[in-house]
Structure 1
């Protein structure tokens, strides 16, 4: 079996590709390199430089590489920016997913693992998010991910598509020193870049109703996330029935303040983060249960917070030294 990984040259996608290879499963990468990097694609892995908006390119990739399933990670992933660029976000994430599903149907590929997001929940009013927590996305990005889930469900009814969606929370760390988080908006890259530039990292808000006053989030290691994709793909390939969605959550949150302290300890760089004003719309706490994923996808937290920070720091330093 061979799986097409859209967005496979990105931070998360490259880890998914490596997880497939480690299990002896063939993978083909489709990526337009708008945010991914060709050097993140492992040597020997077929790479198609193309867009999910190009149905013909997707069909050719399916035909040429004997694709039997798809892991769909490609898309525009910046929630804050999506508010200023809603049309771009919907084109990439909704039109792109529709184009992909049409190409899959045309070529008889009926299995897909979809990269969804915690952004579908918006600002939940519960201590522990489950898959049944009401969805109230607060950005075009979150809305587009929820629409993607709907598209899969509708295509399942219409054409027998076999699918599951994995809702990500805060993905960090690195499973290999040659792949690192390149997002200009994520916490770890922002903190590391500040330290490497000799600047003081910032915390947005220090007066939240949490133990140390900073926001509490679910942080999960990217390699653990990638493993869940492999299990989901294998189960779909085997004909097993999966839930339509799974939260890949830890069940226990970590505060931004705790992240900062872990970074100082791992890097050996002493600093006191600067606390600035809250960002609009940032909830005090978002933590999710991963019980369903643990039951069906062998999901578990295999890395400690220190290991998450250390692996991310090593990969970022390796990039700086190369």
Structure 2
């Protein structure tokens, strides 16, 4: 009995793999290493290098490892770049999810936890996003994640009266930061934490894109959630699916109050010991003042909670990046 983690060699996926192993749920990794790193996969965890678009490979991996279910983390995750690469984004995120579901059906595997995204909401005009907030994705990436949720829903309906009805849930998360292991760090060229870390390491001044937003300090506010907490929520969802316990179709893994970009910058200076005043750059088009989500539903069902302070989130990420050299 095992759980297949697609994208399990990536920053988020490998944290999920470690959390599964700690819970004795026997993870297996499938990753094409387009953005993941083989060195992130823990020793002793089976690793299959390949694409989720390879249906035969996905089905064979599920069968060979007697998979109980799938935690589907693999995908093209760059929202901004997806505008320039919509066909690639849809191939990886929509067709990839369809292929995974088809392989699961063929292998008689009926449980899936889908890594979705806050991008399904677009730029909501509400103080606190809930699971019922209207979906209005603003990028091909956000659209592809919403379609992924629809694929799970529709396959669940189609198999409801079968011997192995699909049981599923989607976890919508926001800005994932920090590190739960000093050998794993965020290598994204687009995320705030690695952008600031690289600037500080190279002796450059980090920048804030706009300081005239309608927020207490003028910089936009977002949910920042620790990657280890995200991983634990995936494990909790997998355990409930395996036990046949009820789950909602989707959960927000949100903080409930959020942090501003300036608060993040202040924490960066405190934790790193590098005193700096961020440069102020123009706003990025389409950046909303605030996107913060409630995590109440996930707290009820998935033991979701914010276990790390902002300084602890920064420190864990900074130490992992410095360990990497």
Shorter-chain TM-score bucket reads over 0.9
Corresponding residue to 2:284 among 247, 268, 279:
279
- Find runs of 4+ consecutive structure 1 residues off by over 4 angstroms: none
Q: Which residue of 1 aligns with 2:174?
A: 169
Partner residue, 1:138: 138
Match of 1:44 in 2: 44
RMSD: 0.5
Aligned residue runs from structure 1 range 142-291, under 5 A: 142-159=142-159, 160-291=165-296
Query: Aligned pair 1:313/2:312, yes or no?
Result: no
Question: In structure 1, what is the equivalent of residue 15 of structure 2?
Answer: 15
After superposition, what is the alpha-carbon deviation per residue over 1:199-223, rounded to whole angstroms, capped at 9, x for unaligned?
0001000100111110100000000
Q: CA deviation at 1:167?
A: 0.0
Deviations 1:222-265 (A, max 9, x none): 00010001110000000011000000001011000000000000
- In 1, Cα distance between equivalents of 2:4 and 2:324: 27
| Counterpart for residue 125 of structure 1 | 125
User: Which residue is equivalent to 1:110?
Assistant: 110
| Cα separation, 2, equivalents of 1:117 and 1:210 | 23
Name 2:35's counterpart in structure 1: 35
Q: Secondary structure at the match of 2:305?
A: coil
**Deviations, residues 245-295 of structure 1 (Å, cap 9, x unaligned):** 000001011000000000000000000000000001110100000000000
Matched with 2:162 is none
CA–CA distance in 1 between the matches of 2:75 and 2:227? 18
Aligned residue for 1:84, secondary structure, equals coil
How many residues are paired up? 320
1:240 partner SS: coil
Stretches of structure 2 that go unaligned for 5 or more consecutive residues are 160-164
